[in-house]
């Protein structure tokens, strides 16, 4: 790779804290270590398709390390292989991937760094197969991207959710209520499990463990018998009862992932009140967990990811995702990442720690063991 290489970067999918830390790290490493030039595409893949970009230099990233969001903007609807075009009050969907390739070549890019989650990496893998030199950087508050132990953005979201659980405790104690806090996470329970454990929740419900209403109500009654006249339930938006379905709040046809989950906490609160007569209240954190300044951990992790992505460009290691495994950085093939979701393993230490400290996961231990064996067979 020539020391005068020209690099393109963009941020795709939902925003999260730490994006600017990655952008800053990429730009500074490219310039300081390799004398490369960098351009930033605006609003995710849309910027590459419509040729919206800005030249990135040291001045363009001054003061952004601590800022949430992304200075480049983002989009979770601009799939280059299925791009929505308004037409007569509706949408038509076009494959505009050839325009991405064309603009990549016209701009004289030597590599493209895609910062995003699973949707972004699916498209990145397809573009890599079309011949573009692409490197992925793993981003999502859901921590559900396959191949890496942790995505940047997760720690910041976990801290925000934990602080919310902390604050809910006081009103729960004061009014002797069951308080249900619903957090994002889509089809994986990392955020609910971690924030529920860190915040001292009494029950945590995650998509990987279909919950049993009777088991939940038994736990609440047990706490009351022991003189604990309030309870905290943390529930992931993708959680569902045994034999039931996830609650869909809306669908967005123009999005590659059209389903938007949300509202399971309201359903659960009504059921708990009906069975136990215990007053139950709901707080849905929603996009609150996406906002704010990144934690020091995410600032450092984002910086590490950005530095490593440029080092990979210099080494010519393309078609790969930067990944954290243990404490060390490595990389995995985009072909192995695309289309996969990293869910909570029921053998994970967070599950064991939750059970050991008396936290309920919404099912009996016997049923949890059955689910663990079923998951083991599926992943074998």
State how far the alpha carbon of 142 is from the alpha carbons of 6, 62, 100, in Å: 32, 28, 28
Measured on CA atoms in the order 41, 129, 81, 237, is the torsion positive or negative?
Answer: negative
User: What are the residues facing 55 on neighbouring strands?
Assistant: 39
- Identified catalytic residue from 142, 144, 155, 298: 142
User: Token pair for residue 246?
Assistant: 């996830």
Alpha helices in 181-257 (DSSP H): 190-198, 213-225
User: Token pair for residue 100?
Assistant: 């991405």
Does the active-site annotation cover 142?
A: yes
| Helix, strand or coil, per DSSP, at residue 334 | helix
DSSP state of 238: T
**Beta-strand relationship, 320-325 and 134-138:** parallel
**Beta-strand relationship, 90-94 and 134-138:** unpaired
Identify the burial level of 108 via C-beta atoms within 10 angstroms of its C-beta, where 0-12 means exposed, 13-18 middle and 19 or more buried: exposed
* 380/377 Cα distance (integer angstroms): 5
Residues assigned a catalytic role: 142
């Amino acid at each position: 790779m020539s020391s005068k290489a020209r690099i393109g970067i963009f941020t795709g999918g939902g925003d999260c804290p730490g994006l600017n830390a990655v952008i800053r790290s990429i730009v500074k490493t490219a310039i300081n270590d390799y004398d490369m030039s960098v351009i930033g595409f605006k609003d995710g893949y849309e910027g590459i398709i419509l040729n919206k970009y800005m030249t990135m230099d040291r001045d363009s990233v001054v003061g952004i390390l601590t800022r949430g969001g992304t200075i480049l903007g983002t989009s979770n609807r601009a799939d280059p292989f299925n791009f929505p075009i308004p037409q007569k009050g509706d949408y038509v969907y076009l494959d505009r991937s050839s325009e991405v390739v064309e603009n990549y070549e016209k701009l004289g890019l030597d590599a493209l760094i895609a910062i995003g989650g699973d949707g972004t990496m699916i498209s990145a893998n397809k573009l890599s197969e079309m011949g573009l030199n692409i490197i992925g950087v793993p981003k999502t508050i859901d921590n559900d991207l396959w191949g890496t132990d942790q995505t940047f953005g997760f720690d910041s979201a976990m801290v925000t959710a934990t602080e919310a659980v902390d604050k809910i405790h006081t009103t729960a104690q004061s009014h002797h209520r069951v308080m249900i806090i619903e957090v994002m996470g889509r089809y994986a329970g990392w955020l609910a499990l971690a924030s529920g454990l860190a915040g001292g929740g009494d029950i945590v419900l995650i998509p990987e463990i279909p919950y049993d209403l009777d088991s939940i109500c038994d736990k609440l009654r047990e706490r009351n018998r022991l003189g604990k006249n309030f309870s905290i339930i943390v529930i992931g938006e993708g959680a569902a009862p045994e034999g039931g379905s996830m609650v869909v709040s809306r669908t967005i046809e123009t999005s590659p992932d059209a389903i938007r989950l949300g509202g399971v906490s309201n359903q659960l609160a009504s059921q708990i009140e009906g069975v136990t007569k215990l007053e139950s209240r709901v707080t849905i954190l929603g996009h609150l967990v996406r906002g704010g300044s990144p934690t020091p951990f995410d600032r450092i992790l984002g910086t590490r990811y950005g530095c490593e992505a440029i080092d990979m460009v210099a080494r010519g290691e393309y078609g790969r995702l930067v990944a954290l495994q243990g404490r060390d950085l490595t990389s995995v093939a985009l072909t192995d990442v695309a289309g996969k979701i990293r869910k909570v393993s029921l053998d994970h230490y967070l599950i064991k720690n939750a059970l050991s400290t008396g936290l309920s996961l919404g099912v009996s231990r016997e049923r949890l063991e059955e689910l663990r064996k079923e998951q083991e067979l599926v992943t074998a």
